[in-house]
Structure 1
Amino acid sequence: MTRHWVTLELDVDTFDADRFQPYVTRCHDEGIRLTTLAELGDTPEHRCALYELNKECSADIPERGAFYSFDEYTELRLEVPSYDPRGVVIAQDGEAWIGMAATSAHGDIAFNEMTGVRAGYRGRGLALAMKTFGMEFVRTCGARRVRTVHHPAHTSAIAMNRTLGFVDAD
């Protein structure tokens, strides 16, 4: 098991959302809707859909191992003080949930819990669009920095975050 995870951090004040707005616009132009779990409704059915999406996307994380049961996921991810459905961005193609970017707030630091896109939709900039869309939540919460942690072999996720301006955390 890897012990040397890659921890990246983004300064919220220097993040240039305008630079990444074309990704958000492209989603809209392609009929993909970006919304939040708060806007959709933080219902049991939507929590189940989020779980299934998170489980599917997490399968690509190196050395991830078995994913949580739904009850474990609910306890560890949703029934915690840092959970806020406004911080869960969902990408939809029609009614289908095709991507997610979940962020939690912890004072002046926000933590990107998970960003994932279903395999058939990858390579279109959806992760960049969802994380850009989610920065409104980060700013609303008053966070000054966003952190994320990756397995060193998960190079596509690391590269995507570096594109957004994330740098190695101290």
Structure 2
Amino acid sequence: MTPELLRHEHEGRDPALYFTRIVAEQDGEVVGVGGLGHDSFSFEEWRYGGRVAVQPQARGRGVGAALYAELLRRAQDRGARELRTMLSDLPQDRPGVAFLTARGFQPAWDRYESSLHTADVDLGAFGDLLRDVAAQGTELRPLAELRSDPDCDRRLYELDWLLFQDVPLGTELTRRSPEQWVRDELDDPDLRPELSFVAVDPARTDPLTGPYVGYSTIGWNAAGDYGYIGMTGVLREYRGRGLAKALKVAAMRALHAAGGGQIRTFNDAPNRAMIAMNEALGFRRTATRTRYELRLVPQGVDSGA
């Protein structure tokens, strides 16, 4: 997290959706923070996602419990029926997992984190793949070049929605407005347009996506000093041609040319095809991120009914 990213999230949040944030202060210093709100990506009026974090030196004093209790109260006042959050199986998250388990949260969905460093990959080995894609008449264009196209944002918005229909997310997907999607995705301060690529078929003139048939984005976490893949996908009729793999290779080559670095990617457990592709590219699993859920009985409802 960076101040710029936090400001972007705050200023770009959909005002139609509920969100609340609380902080814990001690001697004028913020020692804990909690947030809770609707998920614009998977919206249900009764479902809320949240997070509680406490400074290491302030843990073990009930700060996290107090923040959680207040967020839970606010959620229940709104008739919440489900709370969600996500933690990894890394050592630093074990106390958080114990905190959730003690409060009745249950693991509901796994997402695998994998990573590679461009210095550890023979990017020249994928030359034939890129030549095959080019021979098909498909161009891999940097997003930075396409943003000057007045139809770029609209086409990517439509393409993104079509691609996400086939991503196994374990939750119902909500379609954001075009304006909100652009704020969340294309105006993200972490996005690296010069490292993100769009597959373009010049012969295609679709009314929704135009010549765009797939894309892959790279963001850069400045605080953590690593890149991460946001979305990679190709339209159904263009699959089986190596396009998705080529998009990732193009991004990896661009990052390597810019000095190289680590790239992380995240795949839901049922997405076996993408997991296999990433392994073929050199990604190796580093963690499992689990979505934890707590089912609530709305106030005034008989739990035995």
Q: Same fold (TM over 0.5)?
A: yes
**Secondary structure of the corresponding residue to residue 115 of structure 2:** strand
Residue 159 of structure 1: aligned partner: 276
* Alignment deviations for residues 49-100 of structure 1 (CA, whole Å, 9 cap, x no partner): 1111111111111135223322221121122211232122011111511110
Larger Rg: 2
1:115 to 212, 225, 232: 232
Structure 1 residue 109 displacement after superposition: 0.7
Q: Contact between 2:114 and 2:266, CA under 8 Å: does it hold in 1?
A: yes
Give me the whole-angstrom Cα distance separating, in 2, the residues matched to 1:131 and 1:165. 11
Give me the whole-angstrom Cα distance separating, in 1, the residues matched to 2:216 and 2:241. 15
Residue 100 of structure 1: aligned partner: 215
Distance 1:68 1:16, change over 3 A: farther
Give me the whole-angstrom Cα distance separating, in 1, the residues matched to 2:166 and 2:281. 21
Q: Does 1:79 align with 2:187?
A: yes
Unaligned runs of 5+ in 1: none
Give me the whole-angstrom Cα distance separating, in 2, the residues matched to 1:165 and 1:67. 33
Residue 41 of structure 1: aligned partner: 147
**Secondary structure of the corresponding residue to residue 190 of structure 2:** coil
Structure 1 residue 35 displacement after superposition: 0.9
2:165 to 54, 59, 68: 59
> What letter matches 2:191 in structure 1?
Y
Q: Contact between 2:114 and 2:286, CA under 8 Å: does it hold in 1?
A: yes
Residue 136 of structure 1: aligned partner: 253
Query: What is the identity percentage for the equivalent residue pairs of Structure 1 and Structure 2?
Result: 28
Structure 1 residue 166 displacement after superposition: 0.4
> What letter matches 1:74 in structure 2?
V
**Secondary structure of the corresponding residue to residue 82 of structure 1:** coil
Residue 244 of structure 2: aligned partner: 127
Structure 1 residue 41 displacement after superposition: 3.3
Structure 1 residue 12 displacement after superposition: 1.4
Structure 1 residue 44 displacement after superposition: 4.5
TM-score by length of structure 2 reads 0.52
Aligned residues: 170
Give me the whole-angstrom Cα distance separating, in 2, the residues matched to 1:42 and 1:139. 25
Say which structure, 1 or 2, has more relative contact order (CA 8 Å, 6+ apart): 1
**Secondary structure of the corresponding residue to residue 151 of structure 2:** helix
Q: Contact between 1:110 and 1:145, CA under 8 Å: does it hold in 2?
A: yes
* Alignment deviations for residues 108-132 of structure 1 (CA, whole Å, 9 cap, x no partner): 3101001000000101111111111
**Secondary structure of the corresponding residue to residue 176 of structure 2:** coil
Q: Contact between 1:2 and 1:151, CA under 8 Å: does it hold in 2?
A: no
Coordinate RMSD, CA, aligned: 1.9
Structure number with higher helix proportion: 1
Give me the whole-angstrom Cα distance separating, in 2, the residues matched to 1:49 and 1:31. 20
